[in-house]
A and B are shown apart, each in its own frame.
Chain A
Amino acid sequence: MLRQEINELLTKTGPGTEMGDLFRQYWIPTLLSEELPENDCPQVRVKILSERLIAFRDSQGRYGLVDEFCAHRGVSLWFGRNEDNGLRCAYHGWKYDVTGQCVEVPSEASNSRFCANVKLKSYPLVKVGDVLWTFMGDPAKAPPLPEYEFAHVPASQTFTSKRLQESNWLQALEGGIDSSHVSFLHSSGLQSDPLFMGAEGNKYNLGDYKPYFEVVDAPGGLFIGARRNAEEDSYYWRITPWLMPSFTMVPPRGDHPMHGHFWVPIDDENCWVYTFDYQPVRDLTQAERQAMKDGYGVHSENIPGTYLPVRNKSNDYLMDRAAQKRGETFSGVAGIAIQDASLQESMGPIVDRTKERLATTDAGIIKARAKLRKAALALRDEGKTPEGVDPAHHRVRSASVVLPRNESFIESVSDKLKVQPGVRQASV
């Protein structure tokens, strides 16, 4: 359980909240770059950390992320026109550049300086990899741009998708650092999903339902090692990195791509899940890329033209009890991503953690919550920069390895948990 005041501290991310201030220390995913595909393309409404914004790409290819509403009468600029290096309000023609600066008020005298004093709140919006990132904190304290490996390998080696999750960000994140559910909820996917099946490690995963855990504190977050029996003299280790505040990587399987997630709060009851797959040393095959687009692996099948999953809360995730009975799925819900989402959304928009009862095997979740809380309070009380802001912390990898029984992952494979350009991932 968690005391109610701590649950609120960890789950609320709007302006002026402790966790909101913590998120505002990081570059966070805001859009996929495909959402603003060309200069002067349609602007996109963005809600992030409970702030309503509008993103656009101007005539010179510059990205802007500004307050959604015109300073004049509060009209949404989503109805405006993206033209000639600015976003023009459809109501009276006030125009703003990518910094939010008003550059034209047509009703004013042509030599008026009125607009110089009108500026919308704005944040930087920067493309790194397939993702547009923003920094919503004090501009003077903006850290260097993110260095997560998936965003830095060549485009031919990486793929990122996005989906809406109708729950608070924290219960979604906690699913990402809870390795023991894989043997149950995703058991069928290990045998049938084209992006998971066939790996040697799957049999160990499915053969041992009682993993041992080692939760290792690391710069930027945690490494959570789950140990299962492999052969008589060896253990199968799956090692999940979590970086503050909401980045996780899933341990890879065989030669399948590496993957992971960012959970980004939209508001306190919804989040965007950014899901990436990449190969450190080779191109993704056409079949791999197509499988990701089709919603296999950790991606979701979305309603065309949207980032809303086809299987969602409004249709009971297309629950298929017959498929469950036939053993095709464990829960009756198809797709690994939506299997997670369905259960996490079923907890309610913000799960009441005063009513939960954790066990020692939930130590990774307990430790992650403690680190987030500690960091949020240290930021509030001492102005201390949290872990995970430093791009050096971003250069981590997940790993799956088989080790002799007397060896520990953190001592034996620490080099494999770091990004090594040109070196294949450690994967069984």
Chain B
Amino acid sequence: MSGWTAQGKAAQAASAAELRYRMSYPLAPSRGVRVVALDSGAESVVRKVAASSTWNKVRFYAAETILNSHGIHSAPVEVVLHGLDGAAESLNDELEDVDSTIMVATSDFGSEAAATIGAACSVRGIMTAGLVHGEDTEHTVSALRPYAQVLLVPADDGDLEAILTAMRA
């Protein structure tokens, strides 16, 4: 019986009876989660979820992409985040003390914004996820893939709320 750890038996907690002794205390919510709608279709998804619950540490935005001075579609571009009340916020400021950023898209319209947000998260060690809504997802997925560590394809209406809840956001 090599290695049988009789001394550890007292600490086993795998029975229903022993489970009663597992310590119970409130877990801290997530440090912070940012949800960014990359296009107008995504904004309606995000608005619905924002209104569905009282969230702890989630902020919801719609991204506005400001092309570079030549008006050419190539990164880097500037992204301004608009809170759901319309107030403009700086991307850099809004990524302070954040664990995860979730980008929501229904088209590849926001691919430049995704690139900029993804790069900003990468240098800060912030996890990124992408939720791709809609039926024709191929182009949207291609646009988000390089910048999201997790992609849900296609996402449905309940996925964003389920993820935020699971993360204690």
Contacts and interface: CB of A to CB of B under 8 A. Distances in A.
Contacts, number: 119
B70 interface: no
A320 B153 contact: no
A420 interface: no
B165 A316 contact: no
B151 to A, nearest CB: 5
Contacts of A217: 152-154, 156
A410 interface: yes
A319 B150 contact: no
Interface residues of A, number: 45
Given A348-B13, A348-B16, A348-B19, A213 B3 contact: no
Contacts of B166: 1-2, 356, 358, 362, 366
A370 B150 CA distance: 17
Chain B interface category by residue count: 35 or more
A277 interface: no
B94 interface: no
A384 B159 CA distance: 20
Nearest to A405: B146
B123 interface: no
A318 B1 contact: yes
A124 interface: no
A264 B9 CA distance: 28
A369 B151 contact: no
B159 A316 contact: no
A120 interface: no
A269 B102 CA distance: 35
Contacts of A374: 158
B14 A367 contact: no
Contacts of B102: 360
A349 interface: yes
Interface in A320-368: 320-323, 332, 345-349, 352, 355-363, 366-367
A216 B137 CA distance: 11
Contacts of A363: 129, 150, 152, 163
A316 B159 CA distance: 38
Contacts of A269: 16
A408 interface: yes
A166 B16 CA distance: 11
Contacts of A369: 162
Nearest to A374: B158
B1 to A, nearest CB: 7
B51 interface: no
B1 A346 contact: no
A357 B9 contact: no
Nearest to A166: B14
A5 interface: no
Nearest to A1: B168
26 contacts: A166-B14, A213-B149, A214-B141, A316-B4, A316-B5, A316-B8, A316-B12, A323-B3, A346-B14, A348-B19, A349-B16, A349-B19, A352-B19, A356-B166, A359-B100, A360-B102, A361-B149, A362-B166, A363-B129, A363-B150, A366-B166, A369-B162, A370-B156, A370-B158, A370-B159, A374-B158
Rank and list the top 9 A-B pairs by shortest CB-CB distance, nearest first: A320-B3, A358-B166, A360-B129, A348-B19, A214-B151, A213-B150, A363-B150, A370-B162, A360-B150
